[in-house]
Each structure stands twice: as C-alpha cells, then as structure tokens.
C-alpha cells in the first residue's frame, strides 16, 4: 500500500482534473443502473398492468440515459487517460534525470540493459495501470456501489442475503494478487536481463561474429527468454483460474437467491417485476467484479514495476553539491592532491597521493594496469570522491564547489571515444546547437578533422551513426578532440587517447592533441611511453602509490620502474620491427 500511495502522489499536480473524472465516473455508474430500474416498470407496468403510456416513457428514458452515459464515459475516460499519461511522463522524466546524476560507481554496478528496462518496460507497465486501469477500477467500483444500493432499495433482506457471498468472491482476488505481484517482479527482472543480453550482443556484434559466438549468445538469450516465459505462464495460470472460480461462487449465490426468492414470488409476497429486477441487478454485479479482478491483476503488475522504479529513485546520489557549495573561479594556479586515498568497496585503489600540478603543466601518469591511474584522474571531475584527503583547485576543495562549475573547466578525451548518433556538427558543439559553423570549422581544423569531414556525404551535417560507427578510430578521436577544443577548458584529461590507433592515425591524433594541449593544464595517461617524453612531470604509480616522479631523462637516469617499463616497450618495438 505504501508503494501504491507513493505512486498516487504523482497525481497530486493534476488533482482537480482527477476529481472531475471521479465525479463524472460516479454519475456514469449511477446512470448505468437506470436500464435495470426500467426492467421493473416494463414487467409490472407494461406487461402485467398493460400501461401503454409507460412504454413510451420507458423508451425515451432508455435513450436519454444511454446518451448521458456516453457523454460522461467519454469525458471521464479521456480526462483520466490524460492524467495517467502525464503521471507516466513525470515518472519517466524523474527516473531518467535521477539516474543521470548518480555516480559512475552506480553505472559500473548496474548493466545498461537493466537501466533501459526500468525506464522503458517498467514505466510501460505503469502506463497501462495508471492511464487505463484506474478509470476501469473507479467505474466498476462505483457500479458495484450503485447496484448494491439499488439492491437494498428493492429488498433490504434479499440484499443482505446475497452480499454474504461477496467475501467468498473477494478472497481469491486478494490471494492471487499477492502471488502475481511477486511473479511480476521476477518477470521484469528477467526482461531486464534479456535487454542486457540484446544490448551487449548488438553493440559487440563484430566480436560475436569474429569469434563465431552466435550460438553462445543465442543460448544466453534463450535462457533469459525462457525465464520470461516461465513467469508469464505462472501469471497466466492465476489470470485464467480466477474468472471460472468467481463464476462458480456467483452461481452458488445466485442459485440460493433464485430458489429462496422464487418461493416468495409464488406465494405472492414479492412482485415478479421486483424480483426479476433484483436478479438482473444481482447478476449485473458479476461483470464489475470480474473486471475489478482483471484490473487488480494489472495494478499488481504495475506495483511490481513501481517497486523496481522506486528502488532506483531511492538510491541517493553520492556525488552531489554539498550545502553551501560555491562557484569555482576560473583556474589560474594549481591542482593539489593532498594525502588522497580511495577505496572501491573495501579494496584500496589509491594510497596517500600527494601531488601538485601547476597551471600550464603537462603531467603524465604511468604504471601497469590496475595501478590506479584512471581512478586518480576520475577524481578531478568528481566522478569519484576521495575516501581520505582532499583535492583542491586554487585552494578550493572540490567537494565544496558546484559540480557544474567544476566540470565546465574540464575537457576529457578517452581511449573509448563516445560519440552520438547525430551530425558531425552537433557532436563537436555538443549541447550547443546554436553555435556558429565558422567556430566549429575552426576547432575541426585545429583537430585535423576538417579535411575528412568535408569529404563526407553531407559534410558537417552528416549523421555519423551510433557511437560513430561510420568513422574510423582516428577520425572518431579527432572529432572528440575537436569537441574538447570547442569547449576550450583550462584543464584537460587524456586517458590513453592514442593507445588503440595505428601508427598513421596516431600521428594525426598526436598533432591534434598538441593543439589541444597548448596553454592548458593536462593530465595524460599514456600506454605508449614514447608519447610522453616531453611531459613536464612523469608520475609513476604502483599498487596505488606514487613511487617515482620526474622528467623523462631523470627517471631514465634513476633506473627504477619507469626505466624498466621503458626498456620493455623499447624491446617490444624492436621485435615488432
């Protein structure tokens, strides 16, 4: 119920419209009793007492009542659908926005397919329940109230007798609904895993084909698909067993009333018209109960989805602006790592890092895989916060400045270049569609990208495909460099930006990077040590600690870890040549 009431809180902004729909639905339910009420007049006044004038009045009353029912049903249903769609819009927007502001650690722990499933499949389940089923539930609930009231109006005694059966009808609805909610949660989990398999297969289709793993991926897909099937069948079993059960319970109750009431009709203690109207009204309650059961099943599925959605919405953003955070002034002096340590869960990744980087310097981070290089630079834009110590820019603790003002002064180019399925122009001027073409072309020339862009079918308006699939590795990197140049940040992070390129592409990218690094403070993670010979300071990391620092010549002369790594790479180059 907590989940359900929390879901209903999203209706609050649209409460006036929602109340109008409820009132219209209530009037619709009252009007739906009129045709049943007219049955008594047809039997007693027309067929038995032969009142011809009543036949005309009943005909007009029937037409008018259905006209009003149609009008109220249209407006109540449309208004409720509108409110439902707005609620889904708000939930989906809030979920997407909340996920965007969670830390990188959250995205490392949750597969992309799972996140997509929450935003698409789970909200789709809510859409059916809120936009459609709530209206049906209100209509059927009010219909039951109206019919129950009419039963008591016709015969208080018979109404009490007939309603004894109602708890028997509600018991399986409640019991099966609880089971269905658990089944729905498992179904949605399998759907999320199914999405993850699909995403991994399609984004890595070249690897799948290269390793001839089509059958392997198919088996993974088949396993998750069978899970969806298994729980959907369990849900179907509950869905199909309830209607005949309700019908049987209703038939037992109806048989008792017909036997008992028919006896009184024969004795003349109740009119045939009144009793027939009572029976019709009683059996008319069966349809709303069945529909309530079906709607309740949809609501249970929606609640299962809501539980999953709220589980993500309740995850706090561990990287956020602190109370009283200030705007970071333009970078002018130095970046300082003051006794910085970082733990991922309980495993230490960085230990007591002390490092000062002055404005305009190029700092290269070197070390074997897992030494902590990427973690160190990822703390500058606050993708992670230190477990101990602090990082300052011009004396400002990064945790005390706004994230937006911090990241606006940073540019990042990584080995795994992320481009969007959009035009070249919009990828360079990311988020700034009003930017002039002249400026975009200027930074593209500096990134040595203008020439190949001009040769593309539509130049700067060419769609480059998902993740830039229409471009080569070197072209993608130069587009990414142009994007960083367009942002024009004072601090630059290059995370192995050339390690995946061939020699010719690397040469072009290095030329572009030289333009990008000019007059900026640059943190470089380089796999190829030959690319960082001219760095102002080379920092060697081992097992999360700084073990060496100095220029290339100083570290070579020291004959320590850097000298050993450099020698290994030099030998590899000689062997390959």
User: Residue 349: helix, strand or coil by DSSP?
Assistant: strand
Say how many residues make up the chain.
577
Residue with tokens 């009037």: 27
Report phi then psi at 41, rounded to 5.
-65, -35
pLDDT score at 139 = 79
Q: At what angle do helices 272-284 and 214-267 cross, to 10 degrees?
A: 170
Residue with tokens 């007798």: 161
Q: Which residue has the higher pLDDT, 258 or 447?
A: 447
Between strands 537-542 and 545-550, the pairing is: antiparallel
What whole-number percentage of the chain has pLDDT above 90?
17
Do 479 and 436 touch, CB atoms closer than 8 A?
A: no
DSSP E strand stretches across 229-303: none
Quote the Cα angle for 397-103-425, to 5°.
95
User: Residue 281: helix, strand or coil by DSSP?
Assistant: helix
pLDDT at 290 over 90: no
Torsion sign (Cα): 380, 382, 388, 393: positive
Nearest to 386 by CA among 343, 324, 336, 335: 343
Q: What is the mean pLDDT of residues 44-50?
A: 63
Report phi then psi at 116, rounded to 5.
-65, -40
Cα gap 94→100, rounded to integer Å = 10
> What Rg, from alpha-carbon coordinates, does the chain have?
35
Do 301 and 129 touch, CB atoms closer than 8 A?
A: yes
Helix (H) or strand (E) holding 206: helix 205-210
480: which 2 tokens?
């990414």
pLDDT at 171 over 50: yes
- Would you give the end-to-end CA distance of the chain in angstroms? 70
Cβ-defined contacts of 12-17 (< 8 Å, 24+): 13/86, 13/90, 14/82, 14/83, 14/86, 14/87, 17/79, 17/82, 17/83
Cα gap 352→396, rounded to integer Å = 19
pTM flag (> 0.85)? no
Domain architecture of the chain: domains with CATH: 87-313 (1.20.1560.10), 334-576 (3.40.50.300)
Q: How confident is the model at residue 244 (pLDDT cuts 50, 70, 90)?
A: confident
Q: What is the mean pLDDT of residues 230-239?
A: 79
Considering the chain, what is the average pLDDT of its residues?
81
Q: Which residue has the higher pLDDT, 561 or 264?
A: 561
pLDDT score at 217 = 83
Nearest to 314 by CA among 4, 6, 5: 6
Torsion sign (Cα): 133, 137, 140, 142: negative
Cα gap 78→405, rounded to integer Å = 45
Of 42-46, 56-60, 482-486, the poorest mean pLDDT is in 42-46
Cα gap 251→144, rounded to integer Å = 17
Q: Which residue has the higher pLDDT, 169 or 181?
A: 181
pLDDT score at 211 = 67
């Amino acid at each position: 119920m907590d989940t359900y009431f929390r879901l209903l809180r999203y209706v609050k902004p649209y409460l006036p419209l929602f109340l109008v729909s409820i009132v219209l639905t209530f009037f619709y339910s009252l009007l739906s009793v009129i045709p049943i009420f007219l049955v008594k007049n047809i039997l007693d006044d027309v067929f038995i007492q032969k009142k011809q004038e009543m036949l005309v009045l009943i005909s007009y009353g029937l037409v008018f009542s259905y006209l009003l029912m149609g009008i109220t049903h249209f407006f109540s249903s449309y208004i409720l659908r509108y409110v439902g769609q707005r609620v889904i819009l708000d939930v989906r927007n809030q979920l997407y926005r909340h996920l965007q502001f969670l830390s990188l650690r959250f995205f490392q722990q949750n597969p992309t397919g799972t996140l997509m499933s929450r935003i698409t499949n789970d909200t789709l389940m809510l859409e059916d329940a809120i936009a459609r089923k709530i209206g049906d539930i209100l209509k059927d609930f009010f219909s039951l109230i109206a019919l129950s009231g009419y039963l008591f109006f016709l015969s208080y005694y018979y109404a009490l007798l007939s309603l004894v059966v109602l708890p028997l009808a509600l018991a399986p609805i409640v019991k099966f609904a609880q089971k269905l909610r658990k089944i729905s949660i498992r179904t949605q989990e399998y759907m999320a895993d199914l999405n993850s398999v699909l995403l991994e297969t399609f984004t890595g289709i070249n690897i799948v084909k290269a390793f001839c793993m089509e059958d392997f991926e198919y088996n993974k897909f088949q396993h998750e698909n069978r899970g969806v099937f298994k729980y959907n069948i369990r849900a179907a079993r509950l869905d199909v067993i309830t209607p005949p059960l309700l019908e049987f319970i209703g038939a037992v109750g109806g048989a008792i009333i017909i036997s008992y009431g028919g006896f009184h009709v024969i004795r003349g203690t109740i009119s045939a018209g009144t009793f027939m109207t009572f029976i019709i009204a009683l059996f008319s309650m069966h349809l709303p109960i069945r529909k309530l059961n079906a709607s309740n099943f949809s609501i249970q599925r929606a609640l299962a989805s809501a539980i999953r959605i709220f589980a993500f919405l309740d995850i706090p953003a561990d990287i956020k602006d602190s109370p009283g955070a200030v705007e970071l002034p333009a970078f002018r002096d130095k970046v300082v790592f003051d006794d910085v340590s970082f733990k991922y869960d309980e495993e230490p990744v960085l230990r007591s890092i002390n490092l000062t980087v002055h404005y305009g310097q190029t700092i290269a981070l070197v070390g074997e895989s897992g030494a902590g290089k990427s973690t160190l630079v990822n703390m500058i834009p606050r993708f992670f916060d230190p477990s101990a110590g602090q990082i300052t820019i011009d004396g400002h603790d990064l945790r005390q400045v706004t994230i937006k003002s911090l990241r606006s002064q940073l540019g990042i180019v990584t080995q795994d270049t992320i481009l969007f399925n959009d035009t070249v122009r919009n990828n360079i001027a990311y988020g700034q569609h009003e930017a002039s073409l002249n400026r975009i072309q200027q930074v593209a020339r500096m990134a040595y990208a203008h020439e190949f862009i001009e040769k593309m079918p539509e130049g700067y308006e060419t769609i480059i495909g998902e993740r830039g699939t229409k471009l080569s590795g070197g072209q993608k990197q130069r587009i990414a460099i142009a994007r960083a140049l367009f942002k024009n940040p004072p601090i630059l992070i290059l995370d192995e930006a050339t390690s995946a390129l061939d020699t010719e592409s690397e040469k072009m990218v290095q030329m572009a990077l030289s333009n990008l690094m000019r007059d900026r403070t640059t943190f470089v993670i380089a796999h190829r040590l030959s690319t960082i010979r001219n760095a102002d300071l080379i920092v060697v990391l081992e097992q999360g600690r700084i073990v060496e620092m100095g220029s290339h010549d100083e570290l070579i002369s020291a004959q320590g870890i850097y000298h050993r790594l450099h020698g290994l790479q030099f030998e590899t180059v000689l062997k390959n040549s």
